[in-house]
Structure 1
Amino acid sequence: MSLTNHDIIETTAWRRHLHTMPEVSGEEVETAREVVRFMRETGPDAIVEGLGGTGVAVIYDSGTPGQSVMIRAELDALPIEELGEPEYRSKIPGKSHMCGHDGHMATLAAVGRALGRERPKKGRAILLFQPAEENGAGAAAVIADEKFAALTPDFSLSQHNMPGVPFGHVWLKNGPANCASRGMKITLTGKTAHAAYPETGTSPVSAVAALMPGLNTLSVGTVLDGDLVRATVTHAAIGEPTVGVAPGHGEIWVTLRTSTDDQMAALVDKAETMASEASAASGLKLEIEYQEVFGHCVNDAEAADILRAAMDAEGVSHEPGEGFRASEDFGRFGAVSKSAMLFLGAGENHPAPHNPNYDFPDDLIPIGAKIFLRAIRNTLG
């Protein structure tokens, strides 16, 4: 299983094509259709469509019993206007591949090219193009899909490109790799009043004023391997922009972030208790909603060792590096398989993910592909 120059040229061109047609989480219909078209040319043994919505699994089966190794990439883009000026810039206003998922898909396509020519000697390799990573809904939806039961892998492997890390150098550590996180919306409802007679209403001002600094006190730690807990207020609103009405409505939006799912459960309990006490003290109705719920991403030692052995064999430099506070819903696959994610350096001065001038470095495609191909070969023969 090896890549040719032709593979690299064609998958690079395909990456740039995907870059022109970004679709955000849950809307990846055309992207999925394009994945099926391109990957069918590699001659897989099966393609499963509609996983968890728009997900696609491309399967290369040896025909001999053995383990299953799944490599995962993401289909979705971001609701960001691209400010860079590549020839292949986004054609969709307000949407762009500013996280490199187009490059991750192209890396899997390169892997598929090699697997199409030479199957594993045993077991099967599964290339998963997962929907809705950016909002944290995709991996859970794929796993819950009844079609996934027949695909459940023994090992799940993935990558994310990482600006700030030297180009082509990998960070890979055991244990916590990405935080659990969720968006928490606290709504406080009272009763408006004339500003001259505020005592006739029920105002959320005191509760909001107490909760904004109070939630921040829940934050402790700075290192992902330790007891990192973060409650970050991202938005607050009270009433309407008028001087004649004392407010009867307030909102606080806060991001909760922890090293592990257990820590998240404890943080949720503390934040909800704090909100409940503040609302009760002011006689307010309390509603709490959650969005973009991500589980933790924890690298299994055996799965990580498979990637390390592959990098050693291919001459890719690596070190444990750091975990990242940003969330990544790949961690959900750790509940059904031994999983590990590596972080592939995009360059120390490369624009950061989600920046409007970010672009995936094409030269990472063959580096990522050869790591995954070697991991498959070492595991499945």
Structure 2
Amino acid sequence: MSFSTLKNLRQILHQNPEIAGEESVTATKILDFFEKLNPDQIIQNLGGNGLAFIFEGGNPGKRSLFRAELDALPIQEIGEPTYKSQTKGKAHLCGHDGHMTIICGLGERLAAQRPENGEVVLLFQPAEETGEGARRILDDPQFQQITPDYAFALHNLPGFPLHQLVTRKGTFAAGSTGLTISLTGKTSHAAHPDAGINPAFAIARLIESLPKLPEQLQGFALVTVIHAEIGSLAFGTSAGKGSLSLTIRAFDQNDLERLISMITEEAKRIASVEKLSCEFSFVESFAVSKNDPKAAEIAEGAIKGLGMEVIEKPEPFRWSEDFGLFSQSCPSYLFGLGSGEDCPQLHEPTYDFPDELIETGVRIFEGIARKVNG
């Protein structure tokens, strides 16, 4: 199949975005594409709308997995490509349409020439943007049929030269989680605040103290206050409820878990002093994306064999990727592919995946697959 067919597929996917948990039409489009390729096995409804296509070699060997993401973002596209999103308030502004197309291109190569050894699994993951999809896939009993020896993924990177490969030993991208601390006291008349328990003082203390906690850790970590709410706009009332929301991130999984523990302990301590009850809710949790040395050796060997420009990034990326959970469960490798120095940043309403990267991505993934599976 030609590059123009893959480009056309990417633009159709771009026109028809579906957000996390709603990717059924996208999954059907991917399924239609693969049915023509006759994979040896197809797994549907994996962790929700997820799909896996298995290409088997004639001899025993390793099982390698290549992952793409199905979901788009709940953001209105304001760029004007001819294939602009046709769904109001939803758009592929992270490049998952391109990542899917690259894996489809890899499927074509594997269908034309089956791997010699082991198996290659092409995985299309739902709900990457919310940090829920990888967990659902790993928890799905069907996944046990395809537990990989190695897992690989890429992400396009605006701000880096087009086609440039961005690699890293160890941590590639931070782990992160959203946390809301809900505090409950007692509402009273604003004329008699002493008759109530107002969480305002506790929230003020938490806003001041929590962002300083990462100073107690050796590695990079960050606590960002993103939202605070106290009572309601009722001038005769002293608030009895409030909440504080944070994003917590770190480059090391142990640091991330320790920081979460420090935050919850500090919040409980302050709540107790102020006689407030305290509850925690976590959302959008992403594990640290860590590159395994052996998987890195395989991938980087294949990349060098293609004669491509590679740079080693000195620091991990501060953003998070749901692929991190795969990297915590099997030897994995995540790398970046430059999408242009002038390309709008990910999640910006004018972002659009560069079609020129499709061929590059397919070549790299096929190089890695042939190295593992022949």
TM-score by length of 1: 0.95
Check if 1:227 corresponds to 2:219: yes
Paired residues of 1:25 and 1:133 also in contact (CA < 8 A): yes
Distance 2:221 2:329 in 1: 26
Q: What code does the residue aligned with 1:67 have? A: K
* Secondary structure in structure 2 of the residue aligned to 1:81: coil
Paired residues of 2:290 and 2:328 also in contact (CA < 8 A): no
Q: Superposition RMSD on alpha carbons, in Å?
A: 1.3
* Identity percentage of aligned residues: 39
Check if 1:163 corresponds to 2:158: yes
Residues 182-214 of structure 1: per-residue CA shift (max 9 Å, x gap): 111001111111111111111011101101111
Check if 1:78 corresponds to 2:73: yes
Distance 2:265 2:106 in 1: 49
In the alignment, what sits opposite 2:168? 173
In the alignment, what sits opposite 1:14? 9
Check if 1:90 corresponds to 2:85: yes
Residues 52-98 of structure 1: per-residue CA shift (max 9 Å, x gap): 11110011111321111111000011111111111111111111100
Aligned counterpart in structure 2 of residue 292 of structure 1, from 267, 284, 293: 284
In the alignment, what sits opposite 1:256? 248
Aligned counterpart in structure 1 of residue 371 of structure 2, from 375, 378, 381: 378
* Secondary structure in structure 2 of the residue aligned to 1:219: helix
Residues 327-364 of structure 1: per-residue CA shift (max 9 Å, x gap): 11112112432100010000112100000110000000
Distance 1:281 1:271 in 2: 16
| C-alpha distance 193-221 of structure 1, shift in aligned 2 (>3 A) | closer
Distance 1:14 1:130 in 2: 18
Check if 1:369 corresponds to 2:325: no
Paired residues of 1:221 and 1:227 also in contact (CA < 8 A): no
Q: Write the mapping of 1:191-270 to structure 2, written as runs, cut at 5 A.
A: 191-220=186-215, 227-270=219-262
Check if 1:303 corresponds to 2:295: yes
Distance 1:273 1:221 in 2: 14
Paired residues of 2:173 and 2:319 also in contact (CA < 8 A): yes
| C-alpha distance 336-284 of structure 1, shift in aligned 2 (>3 A) | closer
Residues 151-204 of structure 1: per-residue CA shift (max 9 Å, x gap): 111110000000011111011111011111111100111111111111111101
* Secondary structure in structure 2 of the residue aligned to 1:150: helix
In the alignment, what sits opposite 2:331? 338
In the alignment, what sits opposite 1:326? 319
Residues 98-133 of structure 1: per-residue CA shift (max 9 Å, x gap): 000000000001111111110011111111001111
In the alignment, what sits opposite 1:3? none
In the alignment, what sits opposite 1:127? 122
- 1:219 deviates by 3.2
Q: What code does the residue aligned with 1:43 have? A: N
- 1:221 deviates by 9.7
Q: What code does the residue aligned with 2:280 have? A: I
Distance 1:142 1:215 in 2: 33
Check if 1:151 corresponds to 2:146: yes
Unaligned runs of 5+ in 2: none
Runs of 4+ with >3 A deviation: 219-222
Unaligned runs of 5+ in 1: 1-5
Q: What code does the residue aligned with 1:349 have? A: D
- 1:14 deviates by 0.3
Distance 1:215 1:349 in 2: 36
TM-score by length of 2: 0.97
Aligned counterpart in structure 2 of residue 66 of structure 1, from 48, 61, 64: 61
Distance 1:267 1:333 in 2: 22
- 1:220 deviates by 3.9
- 1:43 deviates by 2.1
Paired residues of 1:153 and 1:336 also in contact (CA < 8 A): no
Paired residues of 2:173 and 2:288 also in contact (CA < 8 A): yes
* Secondary structure in structure 1 of the residue aligned to 2:8: helix
Check if 1:357 corresponds to 2:346: no
